């Protein structure tokens, strides 16, 4: 247990501005050790900026706190040493082999016992067979696996992963997440940004920000319950085409087609019922009330938040 009541991350009031624009605005977060937290929000919302402040690469303009019990401001170099940060953009050398890349990282961290640790890492993440393959020739899934190997090589206690599975196929994403859960099982704390709802659902808790502001946090079920959104599902003859008709109607916060199904949500149950009423009779469409999905909630939260950068 850490010196910080078992919290791997405990920060409050973080603010960061670029060119006079607040891209992270009063951000607070507590993550218990060994938990996986998903970090969601539209592009440009400040996720990467926040991750960089947490691992000591950026200094916040305001706010304070600790990572791994170490002070964000005065002990940033110590935080860096115990944190694995996987950048949004693949940042290993394409012209080195898998093994050479890991050896390079091992030297960077001045690790002892480098040869054995690189070998363990290759085997642990299923990279051993491909160890001599040039990194530039790897598929997205293998690159991402190598990037994970590189960021856990120095045995960090905290992992900050920035959209690690963007553009990776579903099977590789699933394997990646199995690995994340294995790491968490060993007590490693993970904060991972993603746009994938299935990944959000594999996290212990979710943090949702839009345009710098934290809008929701908690388990998926908590976030759905807290949002107090009402949702109707419609399916049948061209139900999905109603989306554009319903959008902008009074009482409708969002209308989104999922394949041939339509989800219509609003915060006022009566107003929502009135909005869909014209499409309930005489249309070959079945309507039923449903629990909103995480995606419904996020679409609603994002549409209600102001893009102060627009
Ligand atoms: N170094 C920087 N200088 C100026 N603006 C930046 C810098 N880094 C990020 N931004 C801006 O801050 C906002 C948040 O960016 P970012 O943290 O990358 O968001 P996200 O990761 O959620 O997409 C964006 O509008 C981005 O253009
Ligand atoms: Mg980003």
What CATH code is carried by the domain that includes residue 44?
3.40.50.300
Q: How far is ligand 1, taken at its centre, from the CA of residue 28, in Å?
A: 18
Q: How many domains does the chain have?
A: 3
Do 77 and 1 fall within a single domain?
yes
What's the first-to-final CA gap in the chain, in angstroms?
Answer: 44
The per-residue pLDDT for 298 is 92
38 and 106 housed in the same domain: no
Which atom of ligand 1 is nearest to 50's Cα? 17
Q: State pTM to two decimals.
A: 0.92
Range of the domain at 58: 1-82+157-170+187-228
Q: Is 286 found in the same domain as 191? A: no
Please indicate, yes or no, if residue 305 is contained in any of the structural domains.
no
In whole angstroms, give the CA distance from residue 42 to residue 297.
13
Find the 87 Cα to ligand 2 centroid distance in Å.
9
Instruction: Answer yes or no: is 250 within a domain.
Output: yes
Ligand 1 pocket member 309 (CB < 6 A): yes
Let me know whether 61 and 166 are in one domain. Answer: yes
- The reply to whether 222 and 241 lie within a common domain is no
Crossing angle of helices 170-185 and 140-152, rounded to 10°? 10
Residue 300, domain member (yes or no): no
Nearest-angstrom CA–CA distance, 240 and 259: 7
User: Which candidate, 190, 218, 207, 206, places its Cα nearest to that of 9?
Assistant: 190
For ligand 1, whether the C-beta of 212 sits within 6 Å is no
Q: Which residue bears the tokens 């994403």?
A: 173
Q: Is the CB of 93 under 6 A from ligand 1?
A: no
59 burial level (CB within 10 Å; 0-12, 13-18, 19+): exposed
Q: Which H helix or E strand runs over 174?
A: helix 170-185
Could you tell me if 244 and 218 lie in one domain? no
In this structure, are 77 and 161 located in the same domain? yes
Print pLDDT tens along the chain (310 aa): 555 789 999 999 999 999 999 999 999 999 999 999 999 999 999 999 999 999 999 999 999 999 999 999 999 999 999 999 999 888 899 999 999 999 999 999 899 999 999 999 999 889 999 999 999 999 989 999 999 999 999 999 999 999 999 988 999 999 999 999 999 999 999 999 999 999 999 999 999 999 999 999 999 999 999 999 999 999 887 887 889 899 889 999 989 988 888 999 999 999 999 999 999 877 788 999 999 999 999 988 887 765 444 4
User: In whole angstroms, what is the distance from residue 255 CA to residue 241 CA?
Assistant: 10
One domain for residues 285 and 151: no
Counting ligands in written order, which one lies closest to the CA of residue 46? 1
1 and 49 in a common domain: yes
* pLDDT number for residue 259: 85
Coil, strand or helix at 54: helix
Final residue belonging to a domain, choices 179, 209, 228: 228
Q: Indicate if 41 and 130 belong to the same structural domain.
A: no
Can you tell me which atom of ligand 1 is nearest the CA of 88? 21
> What's the confidence (pLDDT) of residue 308?
44
Distance CA 182, CA 126 (A): 14
Clarify whether residues 1 and 78 are in a common domain: yes
Within-domain flag for 234: yes
Beta strands 158-162; 83-86: pairing state: parallel
Most distant CA atoms of the chain, gap in Å: 74
Helices 114-124, 140-152: crossing angle, 10 deg rounding: 140
Does residue 30 lie within any of the structural domains?
yes
pLDDT at 159: 98
* 182 domain residue, yes or no: no
pLDDT of the residue at 310 = 43
Q: Is residue 303 part of a domain?
A: no
- Residues β-bridged to residue 10: 30, 66
- Asked if the structure places residue 298 within a domain, the reply is no
Cβ(138) to ligand 1 under 6 A? no
Please check whether residues 45 and 192 belong to one and the same domain.
yes
Q: What is the CATH number of the domain that holds 253?
A: 3.30.70.940
Distance 24 CA to ligand 1 centre (A): 9
C-beta separation of 253 from 273 below 8 A: no
């Amino acid at each position: 247990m850490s010196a910080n009541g078992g919290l791997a991350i405990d920060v409050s009031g973080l603010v960061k501005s670029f060119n006079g624009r607040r891209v992270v605005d009063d951000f607070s977060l507590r993550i218990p050790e060994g938990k996986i937290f998903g970090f969601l929000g539209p592009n440009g919302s400040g996720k990467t900026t926040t991750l960089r402040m947490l691992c000591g690469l950026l200094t916040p303009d305001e706010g304070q706190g600790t990572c791994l019990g170490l002070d964000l401001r005065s002990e940033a170099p110590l935080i860096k040493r115990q944190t694995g940060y996987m950048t949004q953009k693949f940042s290993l050398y394409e012209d080195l082999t898998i093994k050479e890349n890991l050896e390079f990282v091992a030297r960077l961290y001045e690790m002892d016992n480098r040869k054995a640790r690189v070998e363990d890492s290759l085997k642990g993440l299923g990279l051993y067979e491909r160890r001599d393959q040039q990194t530039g020739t790897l598929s997205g899934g293998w690159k991402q696996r190598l990037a994970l190997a590189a960021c856990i090589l120095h045995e960090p206690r905290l992992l900050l992963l920035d959209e690690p599975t963007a553009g990776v196929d579903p099977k590789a994403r699933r394997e990646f997440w199995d690995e994340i859960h294995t790491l968490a099982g060993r007590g490693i704390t993970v904060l991972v940004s993603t746009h994938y709802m299935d990944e959000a659902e594999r996290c212990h808790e979710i943090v949702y920000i839009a345009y710098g502001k934290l809008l929701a946090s908690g388990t998926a079920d908590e976030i759905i319950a807290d949002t107090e959104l009402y949702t109707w599902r419609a399916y049948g003859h061209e139900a999905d085409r109603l989306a554009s008709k319903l959008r902008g109607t009074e009482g409708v916060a969002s209308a989104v087609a999922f394949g041939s199904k339509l989800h219509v949500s609003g915060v006022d149950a009566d107003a929502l019922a009135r909005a869909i009423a014209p499409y309930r009779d005489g249309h070959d469409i079945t309507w039923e009330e449903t629990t909103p999905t995480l995606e419904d909630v996020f679409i609603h939260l994002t549409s209600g938040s102001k893009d102060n950068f627009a």
